[in-house]
Amino acid sequence: MKAWLIERRNDEAHIGMSDVPSPRMGPGDLLVRVRAIGVNRADLARRTGHYERLPASTDLPIPGLEMAGEVVALGQGVRGFHVGDRVMGLPAQAYAEQVVLQAAHALPVPAGLQWIEAAALPMAFLTAHNAMVTEGKVRRGDHVLVQGAATGVGMAAMQIARLQGAASIAGSASGGKLPKLAEYGLDHGFDYRTGDGVAQVLRASGGHGADVIIDMVGASAAASTLAAAAERARWIQVGRMGGGQATIDLDTMARKRLALIGVTFRTRSSDEIAALVSAARADLEEALASRRISLPVAKVFAFDEADEAQAFMRSGSYLGKIVLEGAKG
Ligand SMILES: NC(=O)c1ccc[n+]([C@@H]2O[C@H](COP(=O)([O-])OP(=O)(O)OC[C@H]3O[C@@H](n4cnc5c(N)ncnc54)[C@H](OP(=O)(O)O)[C@@H]3O)[C@@H](O)[C@H]2O)c1
């Protein structure tokens, strides 16, 4: 099959297309013909060696973490899926014609969704559901702050907060993107380049502060995140686009009795991912199928344009997910 591989040339990381053996399937696995692939920041990090290797079905350095496609074979003991089913999920090694995805990690693609739309969903919505609901414990009437509202995870998180009955949703993005983000649940947007948004959060919550903070930014926003947090807030650290080293006033943290919780797929066990997928399916399947929640697709690239797709992601000048079509043939 065709797959992209991470290669080192002249001491620099590149990706190049190769012919490689198909992945090996084990008990409980689905073999999936990939129809579309979501591009993620982790794909860029993996290329430069900053993303630890996930358990995978081949030893090849194939990038990619997210796809949608159809089941072509079932591993021993698989229940609930059939050959021909449309599925989406987070396999390792998604930049390929075929992937192995554990059945317990697979989500059905809702009828009526195109492959491109489906491949944009799993990473953002699974991450956001875990952060907002499981770790953030968002409740009806909560005030929410999303640092990085224009990210895929941010847009998914705001829609989940809406579904769960949040009272107000504040969030940071560059100014030009703020009006569009209202469609994805943002009530009180602020431009992080010209202000830190603390006043916005306090105004939106009647001085109470944010009960749940979903943070894709990290260091550059840490001081304002802490200042905007309500007493007993849950601050879920998801991404570090504004840097990974911050100084936090621990006295303020203690005074607010704040919970700071980090999340990542890199260290989760297979059982933990299965539980996360199952919780998200229970809460989100109907809303995804009826398109009450969705993500915009910023740009679609052909399978042989993966390098261009990653360069476009590095530019940062887009809103929504970047998706690769599956290999033709
Ligand atoms: N922990 C996990 O399990 C997990 C899972 C998925 C993703 N992540 C991480 O979460 C982050 C978001 O991923 P994604 O794929 O959703 O991102 P994405 O869709 O690629 O988002 C990119 C957008 O982030 C915005 N941004 C960049 N710097 C910012 C800043 N300092 N403040 C506010 N917004 C900023 C930019 O829009 P503007 O024009 O608004 O700047 C940019 O267009 C990444 O760091 C990713 O690695 C973590």
Task: Establish if 138 belongs to a structural domain.
Answer: yes
User: Do 88 and 193 belong to one domain?
Assistant: no
Atom of ligand 1 nearest to the CA of 262: 1
User: Do 114 and 141 belong to one domain?
Assistant: no
CA distance 230 to 69: 42
Two tokens, residue 87: 């599925």
CA distance 119 to 316: 20
Task: Establish if 321 belongs to a structural domain.
Answer: yes
CA distance 311 to 61: 19
- Determine the distance separating the centroid of ligand 1 and the alpha carbon of 217, expressed in angstroms: 7
- For position 250, what pLDDT does the model report? 98
CA distance 193 to 218: 15
- For position 51, what pLDDT does the model report? 56
CA distance 131 to 98: 30
- Determine the distance separating the centroid of ligand 1 and the alpha carbon of 21, expressed in angstroms: 34
Task: Establish if 165 belongs to a structural domain.
Answer: yes
Ligand 1 pocket: which of 146, 216, 220, 224 to mutate (most atoms <8 Å of CB)? 216
Ligand 1 pocket: which of 41, 123, 151, 323 to mutate (most atoms <8 Å of CB)? 151
Q: Per-residue b/e over 308-326, b at no fewer than 16 CB within 10 Å?
A: ebbebbeeeeebbbbbbbb
Tokens 């953030």 found at: 136
User: Do 117 and 138 belong to one domain?
Assistant: no
CA distance 90 to 277: 10
Q: Which domain holds residue 20?
A: 2-121+295-325
34, 63 contact by CB (below 8 A) = no
Output the residue whose Cα is nearest ligand 1's atom 28: 241
Output the residue whose Cα is nearest ligand 1's atom 2: 264
User: Do 197 and 238 belong to one domain?
Assistant: yes
Which one, of 38, 157, 33, 162, lies nearest residue 99 by Cα?
33
Output the residue whose Cα is nearest ligand 1's atom 5: 127
Tally of domains within the chain: 2
pLDDT per residue rounded down to tens, the chain (329 residues): 999 998 877 767 789 999 999 999 999 999 999 999 999 999 988 776 655 555 566 778 899 999 999 999 999 999 999 999 999 999 989 999 999 999 999 999 999 999 999 999 999 999 999 999 999 999 999 999 999 999 999 999 999 999 999 999 999 999 999 999 999 999 999 999 998 899 999 999 999 999 999 999 999 999 999 999 999 999 999 999 999 999 999 999 999 999 999 999 999 999 999 999 999 999 999 999 999 999 999 999 999 999 999 999 999 889 999 999 999 87
Rg of the chain over Cα atoms, rounded to whole angstroms, equals: 20
Task: Compute the half-sphere exposure of residue 68: CA atoms within 13 Å on the CB side of its CA.
Answer: 22
User: Do 132 and 256 belong to one domain?
Assistant: yes
Task: Establish if 73 belongs to a structural domain.
Answer: yes
Output the residue whose Cα is nearest ligand 1's atom 45: 239
- For position 55, what pLDDT does the model report? 59
User: Do 130 and 171 belong to one domain?
Assistant: yes
Two tokens, residue 230: 């309500």
CA distance 52 to 248: 27
User: Do 205 and 232 belong to one domain?
Assistant: yes
User: Do 134 and 106 belong to one domain?
Assistant: no
- What is the pTM (predicted TM-score) of this model? 0.96
Beta bridge partners of 14: 7
CA distance 58 to 22: 8
Output the residue whose Cα is nearest ligand 1's atom 10: 239
Task: Establish if 173 belongs to a structural domain.
Answer: yes
Query: Which of 245, 262, 279 is at the close of a domain?
Result: 262
Output the residue whose Cα is nearest ligand 1's atom 16: 152
- H or E segment to which residue 235 belongs: strand 229-237
Q: Per-residue b/e over 59-70, b at no fewer than 16 CB within 10 Å?
A: ebbbbbbbbbbb
Which residues lie with the beta carbon below 6 Å from any ligand 1 atom? 40-42, 123-124, 127, 148, 150-153, 172-174, 177, 192, 216-217, 220, 238-242, 263-265, 316, 318
CA distance 60 to 285: 33
Q: What CATH number is associated with residue 106?
A: 3.90.180.10
User: Do 129 and 236 belong to one domain?
Assistant: yes
